Structure 1
Amino acid sequence: MQGRLMLSAFSFITEREDTMWIDYHVHSRISPDGKSSMEKMCESAAKKGIEELVFTEHYEFYKDKKKNIFFNENYMEGYIREFEKCKSQFQGILHLGLGLEMGQPHVDPENAEKIRERFPFDYLLASVHKIEDIDMKYLCGEKTRERYEEKYCQEVLKMCQTCEFDCLGHLNLYKRYRKQQQNFSETNQQKKLIEKILKTLVRRGKGIEINTSGLRQIREPLPEIGIVMRYKELGGLKITVGSDAHKEAEVGYGFEKICKMLNKAGIYQIARFSGRECFFESI
């Protein structure tokens, strides 16, 4: 994607050429932890030469439904309104996809199905952020790390076995919260669970995301490339790349590095989605 992009009073010069500029995981201020408006996220993507941006605003599910004070149909309708506004504003400049990052949907499958069927999503990302309704970042201290990391893998496996989605988000998220990440490796039980997760994804025709936020936080993607290679060895085909950006500066972060890592690993295509139908793009 090259040349000059025009939008209202703005003049954008794209910064990148001839590579994979498709970001399948971003959050705007619609999400509770988002920092930038959807418009600002789109402007940033256009400036960087990104040709497709998929918003995956958060929708968290809870075992104890009383704890859900934020995520409901009013939240979703506000998301859709802002998305449609930006889609019209950036038409011909940036292709926008309507996505959702579903947090642990297996704990409330009835509500997850209702949300999934109610709105016209292009792409559904499924992630585990919480265990027993508590965020992972509060559980992975040094003394509790091993127990909750294994529990995380168990929950991811349950989700992959039972839920409807397109790709699994940031597998081994717990690495983000390790205090001294380089000193730890997965236990044998974690490795066995990750293998089961990958085999489940392949068997069910589901994809896996490479999340570049890890490059910002722990100097490796989530999951690491070795896990993505194993998914491919098992017959997996659907691989997406997302920055997990929560502010405009993070859109498309690390994509050039990830593209090189994928090519070095023998991976030359990524998945794209429209109306939850998958097709492939060479990188």
Structure 2
Amino acid sequence: MKFDLHTHHFRCGHADGNIRDYIEAAIAANLQVIGISDHTPYFGSEEEQPFPHIAMGKSEIANYVAEVLKLKAEYEGVIDVLLGIESDYFPAHAEVYRQALAPYPFDYIIGSVHHVRDISIFNKNRWKKLSLEEQIADKKTYYEMIRDSAKSGMFQIMGHIDAMKGNYPAFSDIPAAKAIDDTLQVIADCDVAIEINTSGKTKLSGGWYPSDDILERALFYGVNVTFGSDAHKPSRVGDEWEEVRTRLKEIGFNEWVYFKQKRKVTVPL
């Protein structure tokens, strides 16, 4: 069974295409399950859409949910369309996000850390002039936030858990092995999944999130894994799905998962 749980569309302001485009792309790629998971609005402000090129406006989330559910019904029997969403994890606003998302019937919520110390993880300039000790501190904070998001109970999937390397490949070499191992143990204990996210190829780091090294350690800790292309254009739906499946089997995984009505569905590799 082929599935892709991480896709975006025009509402977030930095993706191409509408939801139907992604569903049709999934059908063309022979997927049986397609998850729609655009970025939540930014709920940490009273403004309708403080970041128009990053996230949808607050008034759009109801329209987003309604459109996905309408298309889910339309495509029933052709492809299983899942209602997901990708939510930032901001410790200061976690409860606001929890309450804002609670009314909607999401099949799953992806929890992603995109900011550390209020700076985007993809901002390569954040690393300039930092000492090694400061770099280690930032990396540890990143993984502490991922641990806290797993423990929050808000999410079924942890998004791209080493994406801080995206525009700064040297991130992978910053020593913080214990922080990563502690994070994988917490994720396993909380029974949430990590995604193999193939969008890393669109960044300076290339490759997938997370690295093979982290995936090998995830297997050791018993972490569930899932697949997400993180497609921001329809042509990337299901991108490198077969390659990821093959690599997971080489590492030693026997299965992966997706989520429906927030219940885990296990699929043999």
Structure richer in strand, relative to its length? 1
Q: What is residue 39 of structure 1 aligned with on the other side?
A: 20
The letter of the residue matching 1:166 is Q
Q: Determine the C-alpha separation between the residues in 2 that align with 1:124 and 1:185.
A: 26
Alignment check: 8 A CA contact 1:140 1:148 kept: no
Q: What is residue 9 of structure 2 aligned with on the other side?
A: 28
Residues 40-97 of structure 1 show CA distances to partners (whole Å, capped at 9, x for unaligned) of 1111111111111001110255666669636565221110122123223322221100
Alignment check: 8 A CA contact 2:5 2:35 kept: yes
Partner SS for 1:227: helix
Partner SS for 1:46: helix
Q: Determine the C-alpha separation between the residues in 2 that align with 1:111 and 1:68.
A: 16
198-207 or 88-97, which deviates more: 88-97
Q: Determine the C-alpha separation between the residues in 2 that align with 1:65 and 1:137.
A: 25
Q: What is residue 259 of structure 1 aligned with on the other side?
A: 245
The letter of the residue matching 2:110 is L
Cα distance, 1:226 vs. partner? 2.3
Q: Please, which of 153, 156, 168 is the counterpart of residue 158 of structure 2?
A: 168
Partner SS for 1:59: coil
Partner SS for 1:120: coil
The letter of the residue matching 1:252 is G
Alignment check: 8 A CA contact 1:105 1:126 kept: no
Q: Please, which of 222, 229, 241 is the counterpart of residue 235 of structure 1?
A: 222
User: TM-score, normalised to structure 1's length?
Assistant: 0.83
Q: Determine the C-alpha separation between the residues in 2 that align with 1:67 and 1:151.
A: 29
Q: Determine the C-alpha separation between the residues in 2 that align with 1:113 and 1:84.
A: 21
User: TM-score, normalised to structure 2's length?
Assistant: 0.87
Q: Please, which of 80, 83, 100 is the counterpart of residue 98 of structure 1?
A: 83
Residues 10-42 of structure 1 show CA distances to partners (whole Å, capped at 9, x for unaligned) of xxxxxxxxxx52001111112222211111111
Cα distance, 1:122 vs. partner? 0.4
Q: Determine the C-alpha separation between the residues in 2 that align with 1:65 and 1:241.
A: 34
**Percent pairwise identity:** 23
Q: What is residue 282 of structure 1 aligned with on the other side?
A: 268
Alignment check: 8 A CA contact 1:54 1:96 kept: yes
Q: What is residue 211 of structure 2 aligned with on the other side?
A: 224
Q: What is residue 12 of structure 1 aligned with on the other side?
A: none
Q: What is residue 8 of structure 1 aligned with on the other side?
A: none
Alignment check: 8 A CA contact 1:101 1:124 kept: yes
**Does residue 84 of structure 1 match 2:65?**
no
Residues 111-161 of structure 1 show CA distances to partners (whole Å, capped at 9, x for unaligned) of 122133210010111010122443222255442572543432232233223
Cα distance, 1:204 vs. partner? 1.4
147-156 or 205-214, which deviates more: 147-156
Alignment check: 8 A CA contact 2:139 2:174 kept: no
Q: How many residues align?
A: 259
Equivalences for residues 161-200 of structure 1 within 5 A: 161-178=151-168, 181=169, 185-188=172-175, 190-200=176-186
Structure 2: 5+ residue runs without aligned partners? Answer: none
Partner SS for 1:43: helix
Q: Determine the C-alpha separation between the residues in 2 that align with 1:62 and 1:148.
A: 24
The letter of the residue matching 2:173 is E
